[in-house]
Amino acid sequence: MHRFRSWIGIILAAVLIVVCLTPQMRTVLTLPDYQRMVVGESSHINISLPGGIGDRLVMQVLGAPNSVFSSREDPAIIVNKQANGYRIVALNPGKANVQLKLLGYIPVKSITVETLPTRRVVPGGHSIGVLLQSRGIMVVGFAPVTGQDGKKLYPARDEGIEIGDLILKANGTSVKTENDLARVIDANGAEEKVRLTIKRRDNYLTVAVKTAPCPETGRKRIGLYVRDGIVGVGTLTFWDPESKRYAALGHIIVDADTRQGVDVLQGRIVSASVQTIKSARPGQPGEKIGVFNGSGPIEGTIVRNSPAGIFGQTSVDLRNPYADYSLEVGYAHQVREGKAQIYTVVSGDQIEKFDVTIEKVYPERQNGKGMIIRVTDPRLLNLTGGIVQGMSGSPIVQDSRIVGAVTHVFLHDPERGYGIFMDNMMSEMETLPTHTGSRSTNRVGA
């Protein structure tokens, strides 16, 4: 009897191996381990196996729904048997585990399905002025101090200060501007050294720097060029009418000299008007040139500067003339190659719509380069040559959904560039605090 059971086990194992080698079963086995769906969507899994084996392959939803939004009576998904496979229907936000079993008990494939709520936001395209004050002051270069003997001294550099360091305190006093630092050095009196508290990447250090008298200014100096903020022109991506939160740019603001992200102390956005455009050419990025309008319809705070863009809250409601109503958010799995539009400003403060083509889609990317777009609109190409600085954040709309934003331009081919998915920007926005709330020549556009 034991031998008989062994033979049955061997036969079943052989059958399973043979089945798994069929092209149809290989298709089943290569199904993704993780799938996202929006409530109301359905997904068909085709199962067409030879010899009636397909009838022995059963799809089941395991366990209870995993969601703060749904109860046991409100499952995230349901699975319906069809003639040539199964159809998964997303019913409620949440997660569910689906398993395909052969003969009802041999696990073949497991899939985690996340169902997302439908979201609606007001699309942007508005030209905005960005005023950002960093947390502390950033070291962007070394300024030599000429000594009495004519020699050039670099006190801070000689003590190990590096470009990109963020000076948070001097002699225990918080410094927010270059003038703050200068006042502390002046008040140092006979003390030869000033103690600097700095942030270097994720580390905090205290460095004692010897001051040097400057014959030209008659003051003591430590030999640094510093910057306490950034201003520039960009584009607002979307506005959430429920929370009054906004997202813009689609990429992090970096300091032009250090190429490091700016750690936000405070900042704000205001309306901006595009005065002229420097057209892009291969190897020469173009740019929007605009002026700020503090009395315009846009006013808001900046509370976060992240790889997905800048985020904050507005004090006024925002509208888009091309969208009388809010648009549905399109997630990465819904984006397809093909025609789309972008909203942006090329003159004054008037938002316009231009045609583009989404050439490639990379749903798995989380780095702000999830899709490649090409500008195809003849008027926009004539005006700008393609994607220019200041266009970062321009919303991308496809199939009446806002699916992402323009982020980077290809320097060798300015008609093409990258776009970020709405998934990335929405995820960042959802982690903002409940309540939200110095100059450089940096351009904070694409």
User: What are the catalytic residues?
Assistant: 251, 377, 392
What gap in Å lies between CA 121 and CA 103, rounded to an integer? 46
CB of 216 within 8 A of CB of 146? yes
**Positive/negative CA dihedral, 64, 68, 71, 75:** negative
Query: Which among 25, 2, 30 has a CA at the least distance from the CA of 15?
Result: 25
User: What burial letters (b/e) apply to 72-105, b meaning 16+ CB within 10 Å?
Assistant: eeebbbebeeeeebbebebbbbbbbebebbbeee
What gap in Å lies between CA 137 and CA 180, rounded to an integer? 10
What gap in Å lies between CA 131 and CA 305, rounded to an integer? 12
CB of 418 within 8 A of CB of 250? no
Residues in the chain: 446
Task: Show the tokens assigned to 369.
Answer: 């380069």
* CA gyration radius, the chain: 29
What gap in Å lies between CA 331 and CA 426, rounded to an integer? 10
CB of 443 within 8 A of CB of 233? yes
What gap in Å lies between CA 232 and CA 253, rounded to an integer? 10
Query: Which among 59, 52, 67, 68 has a CA at the least distance from the CA of 19?
Result: 52
Residues in CB range of 316: below 8 A, 6 or more apart: 297, 298, 299
Listed in sequence order, the DSSP H helices in 110-227 are 155-158, 178-186
Looking only at the bridges linking them, the beta strands covering 401-410 and 413-421 are antiparallel
What gap in Å lies between CA 251 and CA 368, rounded to an integer? 7
